[in-house]
Amino acid sequence: MNDIETMSANSDVQRLDFNTPALQRKRRIRALKDNLARWYVSIGGLAVLGAICLIFFYLAQVVTPMFQGAELDARDAQQPAWLAGAGEPLLLAMEEQNQVAMRLGSDATVRFFSVKTGEAIRSVELPLPADSRIVSVGQDTPGNRRMVLGLSNGQVLVIEHNYKVSYPDGKKTITPQLDYPFGEEPLNLDPLGRPIEHAAISLNGDTLMVAGASDVALHALKIASSENLMTGEVTLEEERMELPQLSEPIKALRIDPRHMWMFAVSGRASVDVFDLRRKQLNGRYKLLGGTGEITTVASLLGGISLMVGDSSGGIGQWFMVRGDDGQAELKNVRNFKLADQPVRQILPEERRKGFLALDSDGTLGIFHSTAHRTLLTEQVADGAAVAAMSPRATRLLVESGDQLQRFVIDNPHPEISWSALWGKVWYESYPEPDYVWQSTSANGDFEPKLSLSPLAFGTLKAAFYAMLLAAPLAICAAFYTAYFMAPTLRRKVKPVIELMEALPTVILGFFAGLFLAPFLENHLPGTFSLLLLTPIGVLLASWAWSRLPERLRLSVPDGWEAVLLIPVILLVGWGSIAASGHLENWLFDGDMRHWLSNDLGIPFDQRNALVIGLAMGFAVIPTIYSIAEDAVFSVPKSLTLGSLALGATPWQTLTRVVLLTASPGIFSALMIGMGRAVGETMIVLMATGNTPIMEANIFEGMRTLAANVAVEMPESEVGGTHYRVLFLAAMVLLMFTFVMNTLAEVIRQRLRRKYASL
């Protein structure tokens, strides 16, 4: 008893004290480190979210101005003294600097005046024959200052207003002048001397074509000019074209700038189209239905589209389209609505496919044809008026009564609308609506084609074919190395696969574009044989291995069987490539590419989606493999051992236990790999033809959003429409990856909760 008490006393003496100052200080330091780590991770995560939000808002700030409408800012009205006796206005125009304007009056006088003050600068009387007057005015395509005046004696006069810029005493001075490019003598158009009630003009190179209408009679005159290289003398050759008379009075005339078509709007609402090359009637087309009447006709920039205004305030766009039978016919492409009053004037822009329209009530509308967009509708005059727009479409001059009203137009991005970005658009000279991306061209009357649909389609196409190759290989490799492979071999294989991710994508793209693409083109049968024979060869090798004596099979350690497949795969690959030429001669008459294109009708491009699938799939494999392998390897051994102990086979354990437990990590690996494929730039840029087409054909290329931004951003004008559309493409790419990652995280969390009990 005494011994027990003594031991108890000794144990009390040897009890450790866990509340010493040193331990307390250690616990405080540990708690401080935990708090610092928690705050560091939290702040870092919030900083990442903040950076993403800032990027998003910056992109939105650049993109938003594209979808704003036009604005009209009125300036002080002017009442110049010379305007009272100047006669009725036939035409108003402004020069590019918005400083000098031109007015053609019914008194056959051209007056140049200051846009800002309205003061007269110069007055020029036209050299008209005696007892003749101006009956009609016809203008060339937008962007030209050339016009033709139809006279009451059957003649026409071609004039051109120009503006010479000089700098006397260092001060910029604009001197207006009136030129007669084909002489001051009017041209005889109607042999009978009837008034030219409607006139049209078009200059194509050195050939001028002038047309006029006298009631139902049509007249056309072609003048070809040639210059003697030795003497510099210019000679003119006239050719009168015989055109049939129409049954109804003509209301308007327009000539195609290529001198292919002439449009004669006649009757109440129909147009006769003449083939000028064949000198015959192409056909008559109905422009309006019901009781409406045509009130004005104008040509858009380039002269391809006709804008037809009617008495109900509607405006229709028409142009020639090649039909199913190969014959050209006039088609109504789209329609606009200004107001309820008759449209009296249509002013096309000189640098874009937009136009302004003015009705008899003084209501102005600003439209854009390609975007099918109404940007502004505003009252600018009380009653009928005549307007002029500056070449840059930034100023508007309206003459109403005895005053001139100036307006400033703010309309920077009319070409953009959601339908133009994502829907099918019927572009000029196209046979039907289509998705097209073509941001630049060599000529000034180009119609921008800024559809993002082919770029988004190309992005998904490239990612799909890359994932089609990468996902099965990476996931199966992750299962094998984490579950079946020997630990010693795993420690060698996994770092090698992960090291593949360090390869620069520009090197992979360079390799794919210069070597892989031509190699696949020259060995198409061997490539497809390789894809088909590799799994068959692996299965046959496995079957043969299972039939070997047990003593021989047991000589290979568990988890090292995969090494035996290396020579099998190399042999199958060598045999497939070696037999490629023989297969091509035997099955495809020596040219599989020709067989695909001609016999099957499948277009073939050397740099195609197959090349992208192989090259970008190779780049994505390490990302998916590394994450998926870690997820499979992290499955507790107790689960797998318990399943095996209960009698399940290794394959059953893999599919029913390991796969379900690791499914959140595997799904994350696939989504991250998908994001990597969607955002890849250099491989797609170097290994494809960068053709923005919407074709799922594996033998054709594509253009992705990321590659398009990389290619065209250096060439875009800062702040321009093209520049902002590229930012919109980047924003779409960001939103796509954000939505995909968010969706992946939601699904991953659900899978984790569902299989947490395992």
What's the length of the chain? 758
How much is the pLDDT for 531? 87
Q: Which helix (H) or strand (E) holds 463?
A: helix 453-479
Rounded Cα distance between 238 and 335, Å, is 39
HSE-CB at 301 with a 13 A cutoff on CA atoms is 22
First-residue to last-residue Cα distance in the chain: 54
pLDDT, mean of each 10-residue run, the chain (758 residues) = 50 61 85 91 90 92 92 91 88 93 93 92 92 92 92 93 90 92 89 91 90 88 80 78 82 91 87 87 86 90 92 93 85 93 94 94 95 94 92 93 92 92 92 90 81 94 92 92 88 89 88 90 90 90 88 83 88 91 87 86 88 92 92 87 88 88 88 88 87 89 91 90 94 88 81 70
Rounded Cα distance between 222 and 205, Å, is 12
Give the dihedral sign, CA 497/498/504/506.
positive
CB 217, CB 204: distance < 8 Å: no
Rounded Cα distance between 64 and 66, Å, is 5
SS3 sequence of 261-312: EEEEEECCCEEEEEECCCCEEEEEEECCCCCCCEEEEEECCCCCCEEEEECC
Residue 538 lies in a domain: yes
CB 369, CB 300: distance < 8 Å: yes
Give me the DSSP letters along 204-248: ETTEEEEEEEETTEEEEEEEEEEE-TTT--EEEEEEEEP-PPPSS
Rounded Cα distance between 482 and 476, Å, is 10
How much is the pLDDT for 599? 84
How much is the pLDDT for 398? 95
Give me the DSSP letters along 430-448: -SS-B--EE---SSTT---
Strand 217-227: give its sheet, edge to edge: 198-204, 207-214, 217-227, 234-241
Q: Which helix (H) or strand (E) holds 14?
A: helix 2-14
Rounded Cα distance between 686 and 611, Å, is 11
**Does the global pTM surpass 0.75?**
yes
| Residues pairing with 250 in the sheet | 266
Give me the DSSP letters along 615-666: HHHHHHHHHHHHHHHHHHHTS-HHHHHHHHHTT--HHHHIIIIIHHHHHHHH
Give me the DSSP letters along 689-737: ---------TTS----HHHHHHHHGGGSPTTSHHHHHHHHHHHHHHHHH
Residue 590 lies in a domain: yes
Residue 154 lies in a domain: no
SS3 sequence of 480-522: HHHHHCCHHHHHHHHHHHHHHHHCCHHHHHHHHHHHHHHHHHH
Pure H helices in 363-424: 418-422
Query: Residue holding tokens 């109905």?
Result: 286
CB atoms within 10 A of CB 409: 22
Residue 718 lies in a domain: yes
Q: Which helix (H) or strand (E) holds 586?
A: helix 580-587
Residue 272: which of 297, 239, 235, 238 has the closest Cα? 297
Owning domain of residue 709: 453-754
CB 108, CB 168: distance < 8 Å: no
Residue 37 lies in a domain: no
Query: Residue holding tokens 């959601």?
Result: 418
Residue 584 lies in a domain: yes
How much is the pLDDT for 628? 92
Q: Which helix (H) or strand (E) holds 550?
A: helix 550-553
Residue 510 lies in a domain: yes
How much is the pLDDT for 422? 94
Residue type (1 letter), 321: V
Rounded Cα distance between 265 and 288, Å, is 12
Alpha-carbon distance values, 343 to 312, 339, 357, 507 (Å): 8, 9, 7, 61
Give me the DSSP letters along 518-536: HHHHHTHHHHHHHHHHHHH
CB 364, CB 378: distance < 8 Å: yes
For 595, phi then psi, to 5°, come to -65, -40
What is residue 140's three-state secondary structure?
A: coil
Residue 137 lies in a domain: no
How much is the pLDDT for 15? 61
Rounded Cα distance between 41 and 35, Å, is 10
CATH number at residue 543: 1.10.3720.10
Structure tokens given for 284: 């008559």
Residue 521: which of 589, 458, 584 has the closest Cα? 584
For 694, phi then psi, to 5°, come to -105, 75
Give the count of domains, the chain: 1
How much is the pLDDT for 17? 63
